[in-house]
Chain A
């Protein structure tokens, strides 16, 4: 295919024209006749009993139409919001799930939890009415701190404890024995700070109900509209799937926070039928802070054993993960299957044991956010490896190299349930060392010192499991759904191509990348390929976008569909050319037999106007495929960070960042660079700036941009990014996924650089100026 638009070409993102000229269509841009507005009533308390809710005054407001409470949704039989991943405790018992009604019924459990919906003719009227709803709460003592939650009295009535599960993976006895026999044991206590996702577009929903057909239509900010529909149908039971259409139009970023099925779109959809009018709800930014699922929030103790030569002999990890007040859709899986399984990292550590206590607290639910579990795992592994190098006087790069799985070791089975298919970790490390001019660091350090700045360098050789996920394995591990993807390719009668994917794009650039894949595979012009996604009414099925799965799974489904197109086209072309199908080859968009040649477009036309056509073949040229991956993909790489810490103020400046990643084959290098840049900025945000803080009363003290610090352009350096390539061995594109790597690898690299600069391992994320200033002064 054309070198300008095929696989490997840095095609400019075709969606950007509408995005950067303000012509995108986001949920809040949509308006429908008769539309009303919804405002949610949110708990001002972290934990309180709801004694009574009086809406009489609110309903007096001109334009107020209805006030719904948890009593109403319960009476209507609306189901709870489910958690889609069943985790079992080590004693074999199922995790303890706290019921999660869409609107709180008798008790609220975090600040911002919705307990009612006000619907009015205008947004102003809805707001005014919401202020007049009199809710009588009886405050209860909240549990907020992650580390103390397990011991505290249970926050949920009917539960015996705040422990949702006590999960483990790996061989504890062997790990303990290896640690006891180790020549050196490095011990580290780590906190993975709570983050708040902050997609640029706040969540929104516009729901309509057509009483004539009985059909609901929900347009919402979702990363996976089909899953949204499945949950609203099967679990919440608003309507059966054929009576519920979910559309995710342009979506302005998600980072995971828009995977989950939330109370708001659920209740708005249900209420649209009750009110008999469409209802629109758009979150204000302060609502996003309070009620989007938060991220990370782990407290961990880790121990790494080394033998005399520096080889890792055992890794033991004890983590308490804050799940928030309720189990969000994937909340249970993030600190377990997406975390514990990654603790081998890039290393041949023979014994690993991890235990995770998932705890309930009176805080917003915690769920997947860019990297989901893997940044937390990488932070543990790469922090402790760095600390071990320092403690044992070894070069941190060389200690890593000594322990790395080698290219000849693949497929490599880890002690924590994964089989890595391929990789070359040394190649990435070598390239990163070269790009970072590791040899020149001492000089740079001296130069910084002369300016009153401490300079540090830090490494992170991360691995991630992406391309979620082999369905059978995932279901064995507790997943409630399969994790394949669907794709459909429709060759239209005149040869243009419409591609339908169950994957969803909310910034990733699918409309470009997927068109490149299909145009390359089918040899049709890039501009003739249109990608459709995000609409259950147009796309058959899909499991959405997260876990760097779009290309590896969704892209592979399109390859399967394209293979079917080619197979059918070959039979049609063979008939037309009076050749044997076996003697017809498909090359660069044409079917060829001897010196005869028919383009795909000609064959497509013949399939829709079947004059000269195989009698035993259906007309038309449109094929569907479901692709279920054989294994996860394992992107990996080496990140090196350099920081300067200002001695006078404590300010940490990230001055240099090198990322060398192995994403397998690359379809569009420009989009890959962009994904890496964004991920690195988010990782720098976690390491240096971002922190979701609740006070002891469970009030969110970082509930706006005045206090919650998002990374800005001047907080990050010009990133140096490069790639190495070992193609994935089990998908047709050889791709691994690149969406999360930046956020996974970078926090550990940056904190390793900060701890190097300061000469202490005791640095908490984010490495704020005041914290650094205190450390520098031993305060």
Chain B
């Protein structure tokens, strides 16, 4: 790791100002993506701007049909939150399945969504739960947020402050972990909003996406069999050492069916 300047701003405005003035800055949240890339010298930021302590980024609250989670909330906090458990248990389950205990104790939901790793778990939930990504300057619908490989709608210096999830009547997340890294080879969240079903898929393509044909089939009938012949999302499926594009495409269907089966069980 190279030397860098460390900043701990006490307001959002200060954080953004620091970012604008620095040569090659990076916001630091849980550090569980950023720091490993720095130790490998794949990233060598001149300035780290720590987001810990910005009150706008903390807290979990359910109001009406919205569950709002601060960007700095650690995965372990989401997993353990009574608020999350009682409103969207599938989201708590998802958080519990991220990495290992150390990762969950440090990594944050904002960091995960800002990073938009193609195999990260939260993006599937953001899409399935029709999330609104709130930032220091605007609100972005999840549907408009994921743009490509590690590419989001965020501007250079934009800070995610909160993520507002729509609370479904029922949801389930199924993950097929990469056996080595345990990131999602494929992860599918199926969420039922009183008969309107949304399906968020991660791991399959360059970034998380929805599965329109799955959604249509499940909105007609919440039944795993409804997905037997439904069309897969029209994306370029990823291919790597652990799963070819063909196998991944198959897994998207299987994970969606398994999540649906759990929905059926729960209702």
Q: Which residues of A contact B (CB under 8 A)?
A: 124, 127-128, 286, 648-649, 689, 693, 701-702, 705-710, 768-770, 773-774
Known: A705-B181, A706-B181, A769-B179. A693 touches B251 (CB 8 A): no
Q: How far is the CB of B233 from chain A (nearest CB, A)?
A: 19
A649 touches B254 (CB 8 A): yes
CB distance from B245 to the nearest CB of A (A): 11
Contact A773 B247 (CB under 8 A): yes
Q: Is A768 a contact partner of B242 (Cβ separation < 8 A)?
A: yes
Chain A interface mostly: loop
Interface size range on B against A: 10 to 19
Smallest Cβ-Cβ distance to B119: which chain A residue: A706
B3 and A770 form a contact (CB under 8 A): no
Chain B residue, CB-CB nearest to A128: B2
| B contact face: mostly helix, strand, loop, or mixed | loop
**CB distance A707 to B241 under 8 Å?**
yes
The 9 closest A-B CB pairs, nearest first, are: A709-B180, A706-B181, A709-B179, A770-B247, A648-B254, A707-B180, A707-B241, A770-B243, A649-B254
Is B244 at the interface (CB under 8 A from chain A)? yes
B180 touches A701 (CB 8 A): no
- In the complex, A95 Cα to B101 Cα: how many Å? 50
Min CB–CB distance B150 → chain A (angstroms): 15
* Residue of B with least CB distance to A649: B254
> Across the interface, which residues of A come within 8 angstroms of B179, CB to CB?
689, 709, 768-769
B-side contacts of A709, CB under 8 Å: 179-180
Residue-wise, chain B 21-60 has the 8 Å CB interface mask toward A (1 for contact) of 0000000000000000000110000000000000000000
B38 to chain A, nearest CB (A): 12
Contact B181 A707 (CB under 8 A): yes
The answer to whether A770 and B242 touch (CB under 8 A), given A124-B3, A705-B181, A708-B180, is yes
Which residues of chain B from 218 to 245 have a CB within 8 Å of any chain A CB? 241-244
| Cβ-based interface call for B250 (8 A) | yes
Interface residues of B in 136-154 (CB under 8 A from A): none
How far apart are A28's CB and chain B's nearest CB, in angstroms? 16
Q: Give the docked Cα–Cα distance between A709 and B242 (Å).
A: 10
Contact between B3 and A773 (Cβ–Cβ < 8 Å)? Answer: no
Inter-chain CA distance A774–B2, complex, in Å, is 45
B193 an interface residue at 8 Å Cβ cutoff? no
Tell me which residues across on chain B come within 8 A of A768, comparing CB atoms: 179, 242
CA distance A285 to B220 in the complex (A): 51
What are 9 of the A-B contact pairs (CB < 8 Å)?
A124-B3, A702-B241, A706-B181, A708-B180, A709-B180, A768-B242, A769-B179, A770-B243, A773-B247
A705-B181, A709-B180 known, 17 other contacts, Cβ within 8 Å: A648-B254, A649-B176, A649-B251, A689-B179, A693-B241, A702-B180, A706-B178, A706-B181, A707-B180, A707-B241, A709-B179, A710-B180, A768-B242, A770-B243, A770-B244, A770-B247, A774-B247
Least Cβ–Cβ distance between A325 and chain B, in angstroms: 23
Question: Digit string of B1-22 for contact with A (CB within 8 Å is 1, else 0)?
Answer: 1110000000000000000000
B1 CB contacts on chain A under 8 angstroms: 124
Residues of A within 8 A of B241 (CB): 693, 701-702, 707
* Chain A residue at minimal CB-CB distance from B247: A770
A286 to B178, CA, bound (A): 19
| CB atoms of A705 and B180 under 8 A apart | yes
Residues of B within 8 A of A701 (CB): 241
Q: How far is the CA of A769 from the CA of B251 in the complex (A)?
A: 11
- Tell me, in angstroms, the Cα distance from A290 to B4 when the chains sit together: 29
Q: List A contacts of B243 (CB < 8 A).
A: 769-770
Return chain A residues, CB-CB under 8 Å to B247: 769-770, 773-774
Contact B180 A773 (CB under 8 A): no
List of B residues within 8 angstroms of A648 by Cβ: 254
Q: How distant is the Cα of A705 from the Cα of B241 in the complex, in angstroms?
A: 13
Q: Chain A: which residue is nearest B244 at the CB level?
A: A770
Q: Are B3 and A706 in contact (CB under 8 A)?
A: no
Contacts of B176 in A (CB 8 A): 649
Contact (A773, B250) CB under 8 Å given A649-B176, A693-B241: yes
A696 to chain B: closest CB distance in Å?
A: 14
Q: Distance (Å) between the CB of B115 and the closest chain A CB?
A: 15
CB of B176 to closest CB in A, whole Å: 7
Residues of B close to A127: CB separation below 8 A? 41
Tell me, rounded to whole Å, the shortest Cβ–Cβ distance linking B86 to chain A. Answer: 28
A286-B40 Cα distance, complex, nearest whole Å = 10
**Bound Cα distance from A701 to B244, whole angstroms:** 15
Residue of A with least CB distance to B257:
A648
Complex Cα gap A127–B183 (Å): 30
**Please, how many angstroms separate the alpha-carbon atoms of A580 and B94 in the complex?**
79
Q: Most chain-A Cβ atoms within 10 A of its Cβ — which of B1, B2, B3, B254?
A: B254
Of all chain A residues, the one with the shortest Cβ separation from B182 is A712
Task: Find the A residue at minimum CB distance from B258.
Answer: A648
What residues on A are CB-neighbors of B250 within 8 Å?
A: 773
Residue of A nearest to B253 (CB): A648
Give the residues from 168 to 207 in chain B that come closer than 8 angstroms, CB to CB, to chain A.
176, 178-181, 183
CA distance A770 to B176 in the complex (A): 12
Chain B residues with CB under 8 Å of A708's CB are 180
A774 and chain B: residue at smallest CB distance: B247
User: Which chain B residue has the least Cβ–Cβ distance from A646?
Assistant: B254
Taking the nearest CB of chain A, how far is it from the CB of B179, in angstroms?
Answer: 5
Residues of A close to B254: CB separation below 8 A? 648-649
* Residue in A286, A649, A701 with the greatest tally of chain B CB atoms within 10 Å: A649
Q: Which residues of A contact B181 (CB under 8 A)?
A: 705-707
The answer to whether residues A706 and B2 also contact, given A648-B254, A773-B247 and a CB cut-off of 8 A, is: no
Known: A124-B3, A701-B241, A770-B244. A706 touches B251 (CB 8 A): no
Residue of B nearest to A131 (CB): B41
Do A124 and B180 touch across chains, with their CB atoms under 8 A apart? no
Q: A124-B2, A124-B3 are in contact. Are A706 and B180 (CB under 8 A)?
A: yes
Please indicate the chain A residues that have their CB under 8 angstroms from the CB of B244 in the complex: 770
Report Cα–Cα, A705/B181, bound state, in Å: 6
Q: Which residues of chain A come closer than 8 Å to B178, judged between CB atoms? A: 706
Chain B neighbourhood of A649, CB < 8 A: 176, 251, 254
Complex CA gap A127/B41 in Å reads: 10
A586 CB → nearest B CB, Å: 53
Query: Taking the nearest CB of chain A, how far is it from the CB of B16, in angstroms?
Result: 30
Distance (whole angstroms) from the CB of A631 to the closest CB of chain B: 42
Q: What is the chain A residue whose CB lies nearest that of B1?
A: A124
Closest to A766 in B: B179
Report Cα–Cα, A689/B242, bound state, in Å: 10
Question: What A residues does B180 contact at CB under 8 A?
Answer: 689, 702, 705-710
Give the distance in Å from the alpha carbon of A706 to the alpha carbon of B180 in the complex: 6
Q: How far is the CA of A547 from the CA of B53 in the complex (A)?
A: 55
Cβ-closest chain A residue relative to B180: A709
Q: Which residue of A lies closest to B240 (CB)?
A: A707
Q: Report B19 CB to chain A, min CB distance, Å.
A: 25
Task: List, in ascending order, chain B residues with CB within 8 A of A707's CB.
Answer: 180-181, 241-242
Q: Which chain B residue has the least Cβ–Cβ distance from A777? A: B250
- Residues of A close to B183: CB separation below 8 A: 706
Q: Which residues of B contact A706 (CB under 8 A)?
A: 178, 180-181, 183
Write the chain A residue with the least CB distance to B176.
A649
Residues of B within 8 A of A689 (CB): 179-180
Complexed CA–CA distance, A291 and B41 (Å): 20
Query: How far is A689 from B181 in the complex, measured between Cα atoms in Å?
Result: 12
* Interface membership of chain B positions 94-109, coded 1 if the CB is closer than 8 angstroms to chain A and 0 otherwise: 0000000000000000
Report Cα–Cα, A770/B251, bound state, in Å: 10
Expressed in whole angstroms, the Cα–Cα distance for A124 and B4 within the complex equals 13
Enumerate chain B residues within 8 angstroms of A770, measured Cβ to Cβ: 242-244, 247
* A702–chain B nearest beta-carbon distance, Å: 7
| Chain A: minimal CB distance from B139 (Å) | 34
Q: How far is the CA of A275 from the CA of B250 in the complex (A)?
A: 59
The listed residue with most A CB atoms (<10 A of its CB), out of B1, B181, B244, is B181
Tell me the nearest residue of chain B to A693, going by C-beta: B241
Measured in the bound complex, the distance between the Cα atoms of B188 and A649 in whole Å is: 14
Cα separation A708 to B178 with both chains bound (whole Å): 11
Report the bound CA distance from A706 to B179 in whole Å.
9
